[in-house]
């Protein structure tokens, strides 16, 4: 059997340049939404900054992940799609890849941890993806995916550590900077780092000197610790955080981009993530998931970091179980859209 590391090895081992981001924008334009930017004075007052929310929760499949998955799938030759595509994901990349594959008439198989959101699993199936469940560890994900690739010959499309995916994610920041010149900073959530790395690449080309910040849960702070240490410090175990989309360690390809280009990493407490999520629902009338609320939460927990600045905030997604909202049932042991 093919070792997991070999099965998951990206086809391009280096991070993309801005030309790849620009090419991705043209490639996905017929399929992806150019998402709007929303703002709210009451949120500006609470954060002490001018916040401009890039609403990737309104993207197809409900998350920015469609950009990267679409770019990867649309760039594949027909011969590579004959056996379909495969990946591992806790949810948003899974749905994104399933839809992107369906648009090209190819099958998609997704390895998902058994504790993934039921709503996200339902979305994968609705887009035509086949789910293979596994234990909720990175090692189990990779081993299960290696088996799928060995059995089917499917083309692997990693959730973040892939140049095609990173380039696609960078198109969100490209749009944001084009639509809102004169930003003082951008902040994006970071899990595996595809979105943050793509944002850094786009910002460096379109607005040299524009600071790009990352935000992650304090309970899953591997990127924060990695930046402090100057070397990649992967998570030792699956973290206990509501932000299920940010439970993954920063990637081997995304990390050098982040290390070289990030202005800093801000962390957010779990209670602040819930507060930020509710504020966005109430004040902006936008459905966001916990991961999508982490940038605002991080700014609320660290108000001095970006005080008084005009900040582009990338809201990464809006997929969660509406029957399990954290402010409704946390006292009863609910995990806010993340299956216990």
Per-residue pLDDT of the chain (340 residues; tens, 9 = 90+): 445 555 555 555 789 999 999 999 999 999 999 999 999 999 999 999 999 999 999 999 999 999 999 999 999 999 999 999 999 987 899 999 999 999 999 999 999 988 888 888 999 999 999 999 999 887 898 899 999 999 999 999 999 999 999 999 999 999 999 999 999 999 999 999 999 999 999 999 999 999 999 999 999 999 999 999 999 999 988 899 999 889 989 999 999 999 999 999 999 999 999 999 999 999 999 999 999 999 999 999 999 999 999 999 999 999 988 888 887 755 555 544 443 3
For the chain, what is the largest distance between any 2 Cα atoms, rounded to a whole number of angstroms?
A: 57
At residue 323, the pLDDT reads 81
pTM recorded for the entire structure:
0.92
For residue 7, the model assigns a pLDDT of 55
- Which strands, in side-by-side order, build the sheet including 212-217? 37-38, 50-55, 310-315, 185-189, 212-217, 264-268
At 91 the pLDDT is 81
Q: Which candidate, 173, 179, 209, places its Cα nearest to that of 194?
A: 173
Orientation angle between helical segments 163-179 and 194-206, nearest 10 degrees: 50
CB-based burial label for 333 (10 Å; 0-12, 13-18, 19+): exposed
pLDDT of residue 189: 98
Write out pLDDT tens, residues 265-296: 999 999 999 999 999 999 999 999 999 999 99
């Amino acid at each position: 059997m093919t070792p997991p590391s070999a099965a998951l090895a990206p086809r391009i081992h280096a991070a993309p340049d801005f030309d790849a981001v620009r090419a991705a924008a043209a490639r996905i334009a017929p399929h992806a939404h150019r998402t709007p930017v929303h703002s709210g004075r009451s949120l500006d007052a609470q954060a002490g900054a001018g916040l401009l929310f890039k609403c990737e929760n309104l993207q197809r499949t409900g998350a920015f992940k469609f950009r990267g998955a679409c770019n990867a799938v649309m760039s594949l030759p027909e011969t590579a799609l004959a056996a379909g595509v495969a990946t591992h994901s806790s949810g948003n990349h899974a749905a994104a890849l399933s839809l992107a594959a369906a648009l090209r008439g190819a099958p998609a198989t997704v390895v998902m941890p058994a504790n993934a959101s039921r709503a996200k699993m339902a979305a994968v199936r609705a887009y035509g993806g086949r789910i293979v469940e596994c234990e909720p560890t990175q090692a189990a994900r990779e081993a299960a995916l290696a088996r799928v690739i060995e059995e089917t010959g499917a083309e692997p499309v990693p959730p973040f550590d892939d140049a095609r995916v990173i380039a696609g994610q960078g198109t969100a920041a490209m749009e944001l900077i084009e639509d809102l010149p004169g930003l003082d900073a951008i902040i994006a959530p970071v899990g595996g780092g595809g979105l943050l790395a793509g944002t850094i690449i786009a910002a460096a080309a379109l607005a040299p000197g524009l600071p790009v910040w990352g935000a992650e849960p304090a309970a899953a702070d591997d990127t924060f610790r990695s930046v402090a240490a100057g070397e990649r410090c992967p998570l030792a175990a699956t973290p206990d955080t509501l932000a299920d989309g940010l439970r993954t360690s920063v990637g081997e390809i995304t990390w050098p981009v982040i290390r070289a280009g990030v202005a800093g990493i801000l962390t957010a407490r779990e209670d602040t993530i819930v507060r930020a999520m509710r504020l966005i629902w109430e004040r902006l009338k936008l459905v966001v998931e916990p991961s999508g609320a982490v940038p605002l939460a991080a700014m609320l927990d660290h108000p001095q970091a970006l005080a008084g600045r005009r900040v582009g905030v990338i809201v990464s997604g809006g997929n969660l179980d509406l029957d399990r909202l954290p402010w409704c049932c946390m006292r009863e042991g609910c995990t806010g859209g993340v299956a216990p």
